[in-house]
Structure 1
């Protein structure tokens, strides 16, 4: 990510980030039975999704490129008596991770990357997922009006990103849950429109 991106996210975490809701995103709860074993949460933020799966018995590793949300995630894990690993790490360096995972989740990270970094990110995910492992991805949709917030992603862009080495199992309309009371942006009623994607590493 670029320095301006870092500044934007650091500013967001100086308070309560709009996407930092109290609990896991519903899209992941709905498919929880499909996410088992060793799980990577890429761009985990303060850890709500990661801790949800840790509470279900998964061996979870969450990564984020900022120290502040990782520290919050570690405190939440301690407070809740849950075991999870949280690391300050750039998601573009996944190839350096020695572990391989049964599943990976991404809630709002994929859509922050430019085209070149997106390719690097997807290649990194392929390197840390076991063959037959799945990525569960929630990203902003191009069906969300306006330009505020993160980059919108089209179905075609998702298909192109996972064209080689992956099998796309589904791309479905979904929603992000956000903290509306602290959100300076105005998104669609019910939360920003999103895509929920499941892809199989082949």
Structure 2
């Protein structure tokens, strides 16, 4: 997928990408409300950064990293418009970024993991592990196998629980992997019907997912 096109509302999708729901994913909002997010935060693959912006509005210092120039520019504009000075954004490859050794107490992955090529997963884990402070907590919200029709031409790299545990457990101590949902707007791809998933109170699709919780010893 051409991610820059997607964030400009061009290319495969008609309009904004479906994962831009105008707020953080509800599963991660619940973590914030439960006090699970602490200290300095890394928003890995921040996109338009509604998660980063929501955290900054609550007083967190947060760094959003994304490879896509259009997304990073939009996040910076939004932070400036909202007067959020504790959110900063970096254009970088999440699988190789450096310069933040042991800086983050919490790392949040809001639908990034499944967007990476499978061969990029280990580099991603090494990079975020290096950026994590001792004792840091790490949360991944990722599409589960079966979230999308098997014959869809382009789709995320969905995971089953075993492959998720295998990739992350090389570096992190895994505390929990549980079923979850990723909320998204309709795909708006010509000729592709909406998946038969339940919808939330706002009419958004609830795709099957996993929420992984881990920590760095």
Q: Is the 8 A contact 1:173 1:193 kept in 2?
A: yes
1:92 aligns with 2:75: no
Q: Tell me the alpha carbon deviations over residues 3-23 of structure 1, each in whole angstroms, 9 at most, x when there is no partner.
A: xx4x2x122112111111111
User: Within 2, Cα distance between the matches of 1:201 and 1:99?
Assistant: 10
Change (3 A) 1:88 1:145: closer
Q: Secondary structure of the equivalent of 2:169?
A: coil
Structure 1 residue 96: Cα displacement:
4.1
Q: Match of 1:192?
A: 207
Q: Tell me the alpha carbon deviations over residues 127-179 of structure 1, each in whole angstroms, 9 at most, x when there is no partner.
A: 00011101111001014252343111010011101223311111111111112
Q: Is the 8 A contact 1:94 1:128 kept in 2?
A: no
* TM-score, L = length of structure 2: 0.84
1:158 to 164, 176, 181: 164
Q: Secondary structure of the equivalent of 2:183?
A: coil
Q: Match of 2:70?
A: 68
Greater helix fraction, Structure 1 or Structure 2:
1
Runs of 4+ in 1 over 4 A off after TM superposition: none
1:177 to 176, 183, 198: 183
Structure 1 residue 36: Cα displacement:
1.5
Choose 1 or 2 for highest CA Rg: 2
User: Within 2, Cα distance between the matches of 1:88 and 1:162?
Assistant: 24
Q: Match of 1:49?
A: 51
Structure 1 residue 189: Cα displacement:
2.5
* TM-score, L = length of structure 1: 0.90
How many residue pairs match? The answer is 195
Q: Which runs of 5+ in 2 are unaligned?
A: 10-15, 200-205
Q: Is the 8 A contact 2:126 2:171 kept in 1?
A: no
Change (3 A) 1:63 1:31: same
Q: Which runs of 5+ in 1 are unaligned?
A: none
Pairing 1:68-147 to 2, within 5 Å after superposition: 68-83=70-85, 84-98=87-101, 100-147=103-150
